[in-house]
């Protein structure tokens, strides 16, 4: 069974959308990544930090999905990272209302000994120095290192971000961030520039407009499934990343052809995530439901034009 290291936040989220609002609920990049990856036959570990205010039920929920929590530091008397955000009517933009780093401010990630030979490392959105520290702890160079990041680190820790990017294989980034990082408006040009910075694969996420995978002269596109209702986009990008890396770790095939499949699996899982608030939809997602949705992705994209 492939091993997957997941680094990222385990957090309290509080969300307002046009469809309602939540109390403090379970969130965080590592949480969404882990839940998505748990759809595959993979031995994954979460490396993160929380306070002892995080309900045991949340930890049980992750453990019940066979996600190893040996890398999750619980700070006694500490408080868990907390984010509160409000989505606008179109759900494509949001305001951050509250960010409390709490225990995350002093996060020193520790990869458990047993996972230092993992096949795949998924570096969720965090300070690039924290991401680099995880890479440096690996005893064997993983077959695949995937990094997610955001504009906040381009604004506030660009040198560190550029450093960690040198050491990775795949970056996942949204379209605006790809433009910011490279100064190129064309996503084709931006992806080419990013490949010169380190990663040989560039995934550009376009939200409801799908995702592009660039590798040398190749490009692959996965649409987002058109949905009647999007409830809460929180965690969709992390769920995509979790599906992508979970599939690759489980299949142990890092070829471009298999990455296409991984992108489709990631997109399919992300399409569930947004149907409910927070992790609600992902907690009880059944294999049959995923299978049916993969059929929908095939119907959505496949055509038969005979070319010789």
| Residues from 257 through 286 that contact its own copies (CB under 8 A) | 257, 260-261, 264-265
Question: What SS3 state is found at 96?
Answer: strand
Stretch that binds its own copies, among 58-66, 136-144, 253-261, 280-288 (CB under 8 A): 253-261
CB of 295 to its own copies, least distance (A): 6
Complex with its own copies: residue 117 or 186, whichever CB lies closer: 186
Among residues 160, 210, 251, 253, the one that binds its own copies under rule CB under 8 A: 210
**Helical packing angle, 29-37 and 256-273, nearest 10°:** 110
Counting every residue, how long is the chain? 308
The 215-244 contact track toward its own copies, x by CB under 8 A, reads ---xxxx-x--xxxxx--------------
By CB under 8 A, residue 112 contacts its own copies:
no
- Nearer CB in complex with its own copies: 138/219: 219
Contact status: 90 vs its own copies (CB under 8 A): yes
Q: Phi-psi region for residue 265, left (φ > 0), alpha (ψ -120 to 50) or beta?
A: alpha
DSSP letter (8 states) at residue 90: T
- CA dihedral (131, 82, 11, 265) positive or negative: negative
Provide, rounded to whole angstroms, the least separation between the CB of residue 226 and its own copies.
Answer: 5
From the CB of residue 176, how many other CB atoms can be counted at a distance below 10 Å?
Answer: 12
Q: Does 88 bind its own copies (CB under 8 A)?
A: no
In 3D, which of 183, 288, 271, 286 has the Cα closest to residue 226?
A: 271
Give the closest residue to 167 by CA, choosing from 191, 131, 192, 140.
131
Distance, CA of 193 to CA of 56 (rounded, Å): 45
Residue closer to its own copies (CB basis): 105 or 188: 188
Q: What is the DSSP letter of 223?
A: P
Residues 148-207 that bind its own copies (CB under 8 A): 185-189, 206
The least distance separating its own copies from the CB of residue 274, rounded to whole angstroms, comes to 12
Using an 8 Å Cβ cutoff, are 12 and 84 in contact? no
- Residues contributing to the site for its own copies (CB under 8 A): 89-90, 185-189, 206, 209-210, 212, 218-221, 223, 226-230, 257, 260-261, 264-265, 291, 294-295, 298-305, 307
């Amino acid at each position: 069974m492939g091993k997957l290291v997941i680094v990222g936040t385990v957090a309290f989220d509080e969300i307002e959308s046009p469809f309602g609002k939540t109390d403090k609920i379970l969130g965080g990049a590592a949480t969404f990544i882990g839940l998505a990856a748990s759809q595959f036959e993979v031995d994954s570990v979460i490396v993160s930090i929380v306070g002892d205010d995080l309900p045991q039920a949340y930890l049980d929920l992750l453990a019940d999905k066979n996600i190893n929590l040996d890398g999750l530091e619980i700070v006694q008397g500490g408080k868990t990272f907390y984010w509160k955000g409000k989505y606008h009517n179109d759900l494509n933009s949001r305001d951050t209302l509250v960010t409390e780093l709490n225990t995350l401010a002093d996060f020193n990630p520790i990869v458990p000994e047993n996972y230092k030979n993992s096949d795949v490392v998924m570096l969720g959105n965090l300070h690039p120095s924290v991401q680099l520290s995880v890479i440096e702890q690996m005893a064997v160079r993983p077959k695949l290192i995937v990094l997610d990041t955001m504009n906040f680190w381009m604004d506030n820790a660009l040198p560190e971000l550029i450093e960690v990017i040198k050491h990775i294989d795949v970056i996942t980034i949204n379209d605006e961030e790809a433009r910011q990082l490279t100064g190129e408006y064309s996503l084709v040009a931006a992806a080419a520039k990013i490949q010169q910075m380190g990663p040989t694969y560039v995934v550009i996420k376009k939200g409801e407009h799908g995702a592009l995978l660039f590798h040398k002269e190749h490009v692959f596109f996965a649409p987002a499934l058109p949905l009647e209702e999007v409830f809460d986009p929180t965690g969709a990008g992390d769920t995509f990343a979790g599906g992508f890396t979970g599939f690759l770790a489980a299949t142990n095939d890092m070829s471009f052809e298999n990455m296409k499949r991984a992108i489709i699996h990631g997109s399919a899982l992300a399409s569930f995530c947004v149907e409910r608030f927070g992790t609600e939809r992902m907690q009880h997602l059944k294999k049959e439901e995923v299978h049916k949705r993969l059929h929908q992705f095939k119907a959505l994209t496949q055509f038969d034009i005979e070319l010789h």
